[in-house]
Amino acid sequence: MQQIVRNSRASVVIWAALVVATLASWWLGIHEGGAPGDGATVGGVAVLVITFVKVWFVGRHFMDIRESTLLLRTIFDAYVVLLCTALCVLYLVTS
């Protein structure tokens, strides 16, 4: 029973963090938008990083990757980091 309550509390905390991250990326998208050099690149990269942090939290917690094998966790972590890095570099090169 305590395990269920602990998982439920963790889910609520992670859900709240995801909501805050969504609001932060929305705020960055609204306030940091504009021409390149006006902070648009910093805001764009920040939004991408926030997005992939959210992907990591959803994958780890809500898709139960945290309880899977070490190999699957490592592959998932590497995938998230590599894809985020590639998209950030692509965004910076093209903007």
Structure confidence at residue 89 (pLDDT): 93
Structure confidence at residue 29 (pLDDT): 79
Instruction: Look at residue 1 and tell me whether its pLDDT is greater than 60.
Output: no
pTM, full prediction: 0.79
At 37-80, the pLDDT tens digits run 555 678 888 999 999 999 999 999 888 898 899 999 999 999 99
* Domain count for the chain: 1
Q: Is 74 helix (H, G, I), strand (E, B) or coil?
A: helix
Q: Give the separation between CA 29 and CA 20, rounded to whole angstroms.
A: 14
Structure confidence at residue 35 (pLDDT): 58
What is the domain extent for residue 86? 2-94
